[in-house]
Structure 1
Amino acid sequence: MRKPNGYGSIKKLSGKRRRPFVFVVTKNGKQRPVEYFETQIEAEIYQADYNKIHKQHSLPGHKVTFSEAFFRWLPAHVADKEPAPTTISNYRNAYQHCLPIHDTPITDLKFADYQQILDIMKKNRLSYASMKKVRSLISLISKFAIEYELVNKNYASLLKIGKNKPVRSHKPFTRQQINRLWQCDVSGTDAVLILLYTGMRVGELLALEKRNINLRQRFIKITRSKTASGIRIIPIHNRILPLIESLTQTPGDYLLSDPSGKPYNYSRFCTLWYNLMSAIRTKHTTHDCRHTVATLLDNAGANENAKRRILGHASGDVTDRVYTHKNLRQLRKAIQLLK
């Protein structure tokens, strides 16, 4: 659709830039930049809002596309829920899988359009987890669209993704593998040992800020997690205390940062992970660390309620969930069962 005069324009700048798209307006005969963006759709949303606010002017007959709904929903969702960086990355990855419907008005999308996305993923042998994330994103955007009266139906509950068939079951680290980690000097070893002695999720570790580590009382406060039960306190095991103390002295606000102080994202952490697994001659997924902690605590006879508190698992028992409270001393007693 051709934009009216005075509506401003969007340009893509040359070269490699993090935000190559710029929205410009004409003032006194000269084009002046207003804001820069990573994608064109984000620039177009800003352009529409800018004209609506400053000039009380909207494009006639405009229909909100799936892409526009996504880029309007995401900032609001992040501000409201404060999801972990890995969760935001999952949203963006799921959005990319929806490429065939990016430019389709969300009012025109029906069950068959959404199901086709999942069918293509299944045909390409993408994982059950990936399809589940796409279905979840479709549900979240549909709820957003319903709230703003763009659509009146959420098709997510009708979408079929088949049954989950795990490629491999999780397996705990052996005592020999853990001992090899203690003797290893490959970059990232300290991070893996922290996972093996806390039971944290990788996303929780990557989002962990130094201000949420209490060295005097020796505990970690998890403030960002994928579940409500994940918001918790984890005692610091004696063996990893020196590792955490050392990491708190490095540049940056986050516990895991590179020498410049930049925090690690999941992709960069995976590079460290695979290099380290090769160094100790084994194959494990990052989630195997949580599986290891759960298994070792079970084998050591740890209190079940304390174990759930440490791992951030929800309790299905009303008594445990409502009336049983484990203080830091009791949790520390449980975590020290790890050898």
Structure 2
Amino acid sequence: MRKPNGYGSIKKLSGNRRRPFVFVVTQEGKQRPVEYFETQVEAEIYQADYNKIHTNHSLPGHKITFAEVFYRWLPVHVADNEPAETTVANYHNAFRHCLQLHEMPIADIKYADYQRIIDRMKKERLSYASCKKVRSLISLLLKFATEYEIVNKNYAPLLKIGKNRPVRPHKPFSRQQINRLWQCDVSGADAILMLLYTGMRVGELLALEKRNINLRQRFIKITKSKTASGIRIIPIHNRVFPLVATRMESPGVFLLSDPEGLPYNYSRFCSLWNKIMSSIHAKHTTHDCRHTVATLLDNAGANENAKRRILGHASGDVTDRVYTHKNLRQLRKAIQLLK
């Protein structure tokens, strides 16, 4: 579609740039760059909004595409929910799986178009989790589009992604393996013990700042998590309290830092993890720590609601979610059931 005179233009700059697309307007006979963008869609959205504000121009007959909805929704969703960086990366990955939909007007996309994306992913043997993330993104985008009256139906609940068949089911650490961790002298073994006695996700541990640890009252405050239910307080188990206190004396802002005070990212932590697993002759994933905590709390007869609070799981029961409150003393009683 030809754009009206004075609407500005979008150009792609040469070279290896992080934001290669630029929106330019003509002023006094010269083109002036207004803003730079990573993608052309982002530039086109900005161009449309710029002209609505500055020139009162709109493109006649323009239909909002799937990609445009994504780039309008994401900043709003991030501002409102403050998701973890890994969650935002998952949104972008799911969006890339929907490449066939990017240029389609979202109001014209039907159930069969969305299901075709899922079916292609399953045919390519992508994981159940990947399919679920795509369905989740579609649901979020259609919900956003419905609120702004761009579409009138959310097809996401109808999408079929099959059954979850884990390639490698999670398994808890054995008592012997936990004992070997206590005897392990490899640097970083204390971090794994913290995971095994708190139920934290790895991402939560890596993002944990020292200011969110209260040694006097012995609790950890999780402020960054992949879910809203993950924002919580976890009592510090007596056995790992000395490990946490020692880490508090080390350099750096984050609890888990290297000798120079630099925080660990997930890749560096996985290298550390593999080295320690080799040392104790075990084969586990990082998520097996949470599975271990859940299993041990179950075996010890922990209160179900307290267990969910500790692990940061959402409750499906309205009574538990709204009317039942577990204070720090009750949570501490539950966490001490871990031996």
The Cα of 1:224 is off from its aligned counterpart by: 3.8
Query: Displacement, 1:12?
Result: 3.5
Match of 1:176 in 2: 176
Using the alignment, how far apart are the partners of 1:250 and 1:12 within structure 2? 44
**Whole-angstrom CA distance in 1 between matches of 2:257 and 2:49:** 37
Residue 133 of structure 1 aligns with which residue?
133
1:93-145 per-position Cα deviation (integer Å, ceiling 9, x unaligned): 11111111111111221111111100100001111121111111111111111
In the alignment, the residues of structure 1 paired with residue 15 and residue 280 of structure 2 have an alpha-carbon distance, to the nearest angstrom, of 42
Aligned to 2:111: 111
Mean Cα deviation higher: 311-320 or 85-94: 311-320
Aligned residue number for residue 251 of structure 1: 252
Change in 2 beyond 3 A, CA 1:57/1:225: same
- Corresponding residue for 2:23? 23
Q: CA deviation at 1:196?
A: 1.3
Distance in 2 between the 1:256 and 1:95 partners? Answer: 32
Secondary structure of the residue aligned to 1:197 is helix
Q: Is the 8 A contact 1:20 1:38 kept in 2?
A: yes
Cα pair 1:86 1:265 within 8 Å, conserved = no
What is the TM-score normalised by the length of structure 2?
Answer: 0.86
Cα distance change of structure 1 residues 152 and 316 upon mapping to structure 2, 3 Å threshold: closer
* Alpha-carbon distance, 1:218 to partner: 1.7
Aligned-residue CA RMSD (Å): 2.9
Within 1, Cα distance between the matches of 2:262 and 2:270? Answer: 16
Q: Deviation string for 1:166-212 (max 9, x for gaps)?
A: 22321111233334434556565443332211101234334434432
User: Structure 1 61/156 Cα, relative in aligned 2: closer, same or farther at 3 Å?
Assistant: same
Q: What aligned pairs does 1:67-216 form with structure 2 within 5 A after superposition?
A: 67-184=67-184, 188-216=188-216
Instruction: Give the Cα–Cα distance (whole angstroms) in 1 for the partners of residues 261 and 137 of structure 2.
Output: 32
Query: Matches of 1:184 and 1:27 in 2, distance apart?
Result: 68
Check 1:142–1:264 CA distance in 2 against 1; reply closer, same or farther (3 A cut). farther
Letter in 2 for 1:20: P
Q: Distance in 1 between matches of 2:63 and 2:281?
A: 55
Task: Indicate conservation of the 8 Å contact 1:86/1:266, yes or no.
Answer: no
Contact 1:94 1:133 in 2 (8 A): yes
Equivalent position of 1:34 in the other structure: 34
Gaps of 5+ in 2: none
Kindly tell me the number of residue pairs found equivalent between the two proteins: 338
Alpha-carbon shift at residue 147 of structure 1 (Å): 1.5
In structure 2, what residue type is equivalent to 1:85? Answer: E
d(CA) in 2 for partners of 1:15 and 1:240? Answer: 51
**Residue aligned with 1:211, SS:** helix
Aligned-partner Cα distance in 2 for 1:109–1:6? 32
Structure 1, unmatched stretches of 5+, are none
TM-score using structure 1 length: 0.86
Q: 1:321 to 1:28 in 2, by over 3 A?
A: closer
| Identical amino acids, percent of aligned pairs | 81
Distance 1:322 1:280, change over 3 A: same
CA change 1:189–1:15 in 2 (3 A) is farther
